[in-house]
Protein backbone atom coordinates (compact mmCIF):
# COMPACT_ATOMS: atom_id res chain seq x y z
CA UNK A 1 0.00 0.00 0.00
CA UNK A 2 2.86 2.38 0.81
CA UNK A 3 4.35 1.75 -2.64
CA UNK A 4 1.05 2.52 -4.36
CA UNK A 5 0.66 5.71 -2.31
CA UNK A 6 4.19 6.79 -3.27
CA UNK A 7 3.38 6.20 -6.93
CA UNK A 8 0.22 8.33 -6.69
CA UNK A 9 2.13 11.12 -4.90
CA UNK A 10 4.89 11.09 -7.53
CA UNK A 11 2.33 11.28 -10.34
CA UNK A 12 0.42 14.10 -8.63
CA UNK A 13 3.66 16.03 -8.12
CA UNK A 14 4.55 15.62 -11.78
CA UNK A 15 1.27 17.24 -12.84
CA UNK A 16 1.89 20.45 -10.84
CA UNK A 17 3.50 22.35 -13.76
CA UNK A 18 0.55 21.42 -15.96
CA UNK A 19 -1.92 22.62 -13.33
CA UNK A 20 -0.07 25.92 -13.08
CA UNK A 21 0.41 26.19 -16.83
CA UNK A 22 -3.25 25.73 -17.61
CA UNK A 23 -3.91 29.07 -15.90
CA UNK A 24 -2.04 30.78 -18.74
CA UNK A 25 -2.76 28.62 -21.79
CA UNK A 26 -5.23 29.48 -24.56
CA UNK A 27 -7.98 27.38 -22.99
CA UNK A 28 -8.01 29.94 -20.17
CA UNK A 29 -9.66 32.35 -22.63
CA UNK A 30 -7.77 35.63 -22.42
CA UNK A 31 -4.67 34.35 -24.23
CA UNK A 32 -6.59 32.52 -26.96
CA UNK A 33 -6.93 35.58 -29.22
CA UNK A 34 -3.26 36.47 -28.75
CA UNK A 35 -2.06 32.92 -29.47
CA UNK A 36 -4.31 32.52 -32.51
CA UNK A 37 -3.03 35.82 -33.93
CA UNK A 38 0.58 34.57 -33.96
CA UNK A 39 2.31 33.34 -37.10
CA UNK A 40 2.97 29.67 -36.34
CA UNK A 41 4.70 26.71 -37.90
CA UNK A 42 2.72 24.44 -40.19
CA UNK A 43 3.80 21.67 -37.80
CA UNK A 44 1.90 23.19 -34.87
CA UNK A 45 -0.43 20.45 -33.61
CA UNK A 46 -4.09 20.91 -32.82
CA UNK A 47 -4.77 21.98 -29.21
CA UNK A 48 -6.08 18.51 -28.31
CA UNK A 49 -2.70 17.01 -29.25
CA UNK A 50 -1.00 19.25 -26.70
CA UNK A 51 -3.46 18.17 -24.00
CA UNK A 52 -2.98 14.48 -24.73
CA UNK A 53 0.79 14.73 -25.09
CA UNK A 54 1.28 16.66 -21.85
CA UNK A 55 -0.98 14.28 -19.93
CA UNK A 56 1.09 11.31 -21.11
CA UNK A 57 4.39 13.10 -20.49
CA UNK A 58 3.48 14.18 -16.96
CA UNK A 59 2.36 10.64 -16.21
CA UNK A 60 5.69 9.26 -17.49
CA UNK A 61 7.61 11.83 -15.44
CA UNK A 62 5.66 10.85 -12.33
CA UNK A 63 6.41 7.17 -12.85
CA UNK A 64 10.08 8.02 -13.45
CA UNK A 65 10.21 9.98 -10.19
CA UNK A 66 8.60 7.07 -8.38
CA UNK A 67 11.20 4.67 -9.81
CA UNK A 68 13.97 6.95 -8.56
CA UNK A 69 12.37 7.05 -5.11
CA UNK A 70 12.21 3.24 -5.05
CA UNK A 71 16.00 3.11 -5.28
CA UNK A 72 16.58 5.09 -2.08
CA UNK A 73 17.84 2.04 -0.19
CA UNK A 74 20.09 0.84 -3.02
CA UNK A 75 21.68 4.09 -4.23
CA UNK A 76 23.48 6.88 -2.38
CA UNK A 77 21.31 9.56 -0.85
CA UNK A 78 23.45 12.18 -2.59
CA UNK A 79 22.63 10.75 -6.01
CA UNK A 80 18.92 10.47 -5.22
CA UNK A 81 18.93 13.99 -3.82
CA UNK A 82 20.50 15.42 -6.97
CA UNK A 83 18.02 13.55 -9.18
CA UNK A 84 15.11 14.90 -7.09
CA UNK A 85 16.51 18.43 -7.11
CA UNK A 86 16.83 18.38 -10.89
CA UNK A 87 13.31 16.97 -11.21
CA UNK A 88 11.86 19.79 -9.14
CA UNK A 89 13.99 22.43 -10.91
CA UNK A 90 12.72 21.29 -14.30
CA UNK A 91 9.18 21.46 -12.90
CA UNK A 92 9.70 25.11 -11.94
CA UNK A 93 11.11 25.90 -15.39
CA UNK A 94 8.24 24.01 -17.05
CA UNK A 95 5.62 26.05 -15.19
CA UNK A 96 7.69 29.19 -15.73
CA UNK A 97 7.69 28.68 -19.48
CA UNK A 98 3.88 28.67 -19.56
CA UNK A 99 3.80 31.88 -17.56
CA UNK A 100 6.40 33.64 -19.73
CA UNK A 101 4.95 32.49 -23.05
CA UNK A 102 1.21 32.57 -22.42
CA UNK A 103 0.97 34.82 -19.38
CA UNK A 104 3.47 37.53 -20.32
CA UNK A 105 3.21 37.03 -24.11
CA UNK A 106 7.01 37.02 -24.43
CA UNK A 107 7.92 34.25 -26.90
CA UNK A 108 11.60 35.26 -27.19
CA UNK A 109 12.13 35.15 -23.43
CA UNK A 110 10.23 31.85 -23.40
CA UNK A 111 12.82 30.44 -25.84
CA UNK A 112 15.52 31.11 -23.24
CA UNK A 113 13.44 29.53 -20.48
CA UNK A 114 12.95 26.52 -22.75
CA UNK A 115 16.70 26.23 -23.38
CA UNK A 116 17.22 26.15 -19.62
CA UNK A 117 14.44 23.58 -19.26
CA UNK A 118 15.98 21.35 -21.93
CA UNK A 119 19.44 21.57 -20.37
CA UNK A 120 18.15 20.80 -16.87
CA UNK A 121 16.02 17.95 -18.23
CA UNK A 122 19.01 16.44 -20.03
CA UNK A 123 21.02 16.65 -16.82
CA UNK A 124 18.09 15.15 -14.90
CA UNK A 125 17.86 12.28 -17.41
CA UNK A 126 21.57 11.58 -16.99
CA UNK A 127 21.20 11.47 -13.21
CA UNK A 128 18.05 9.32 -13.46
CA UNK A 129 20.01 6.86 -15.60
CA UNK A 130 22.50 6.42 -12.75
CA UNK A 131 19.61 5.47 -10.46
CA UNK A 132 17.17 3.63 -12.74
CA UNK A 133 17.50 2.85 -16.43
CA UNK A 134 13.73 2.61 -16.74
CA UNK A 135 13.28 6.06 -15.16
CA UNK A 136 15.80 7.41 -17.67
CA UNK A 137 13.91 5.85 -20.58
CA UNK A 138 10.62 7.29 -19.33
CA UNK A 139 12.13 10.80 -19.39
CA UNK A 140 13.31 10.59 -23.01
CA UNK A 141 9.88 11.26 -24.63
CA UNK A 142 9.63 14.41 -22.50
CA UNK A 143 12.98 15.63 -23.80
CA UNK A 144 11.98 14.91 -27.39
CA UNK A 145 8.74 16.86 -26.85
CA UNK A 146 10.72 19.75 -25.31
CA UNK A 147 12.91 19.85 -28.41
CA UNK A 148 9.79 19.99 -30.58
CA UNK A 149 8.42 22.75 -28.31
CA UNK A 150 11.72 24.60 -28.77
CA UNK A 151 11.22 24.48 -32.53
CA UNK A 152 7.60 25.68 -32.27
CA UNK A 153 8.48 28.43 -29.79
CA UNK A 154 11.47 29.47 -31.91
CA UNK A 155 9.32 29.80 -35.02
CA UNK A 156 6.84 31.98 -33.14
CA UNK A 157 9.63 34.12 -31.65
CA UNK A 158 11.21 34.64 -35.09
CA UNK A 159 8.04 35.17 -37.11
CA UNK A 160 6.28 37.54 -34.75
Q: pLDDT at residue 30 above 80? A: no
Tell me the mean pLDDT in the region 121-134. 97
Residue 72 gets which letter from DSSP? T
Tell me the mean pLDDT in the region 17-39. 78
Find out whether 15 and 63 touch, Cβ atoms under 8 Å: no
Q: How many CB atoms lie within 10 A of CB 160?
A: 12
Percent of the chain with pLDDT over 90: 79
Q: pLDDT at residue 33 above 90? A: no
In whole angstroms, what is the distance from residue 77 CA to residue 3 CA? 19
What pLDDT does residue 34 have?
A: 86
pLDDT digits (tens, 9 = 90+) for 49-76: 998 999 999 999 999 999 999 998 898 8
Tell me the mean pLDDT in the region 120-148. 98
What pLDDT does residue 86 have?
A: 98
What pLDDT does residue 2 have?
A: 84
Residues in the chain: 160
pLDDT digits (tens, 9 = 90+) for 74-122: 988 899 999 999 999 999 999 999 999 998 999 999 999 999 999 999 9
Q: pLDDT at residue 1 above 80? A: no
User: Domains plus CATH for the chain?
Assistant: 2-159 (1.20.1260.100)
Q: What is the pTM of this model?
A: 0.93
Q: What is the mean pLDDT of the chain?
A: 93
Amino acid sequence: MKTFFSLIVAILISFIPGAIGVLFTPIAGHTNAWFNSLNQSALTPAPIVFSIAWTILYLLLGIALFLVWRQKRKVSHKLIGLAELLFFFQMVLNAGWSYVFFGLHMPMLAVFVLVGLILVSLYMAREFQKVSRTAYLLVLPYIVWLLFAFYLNGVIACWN
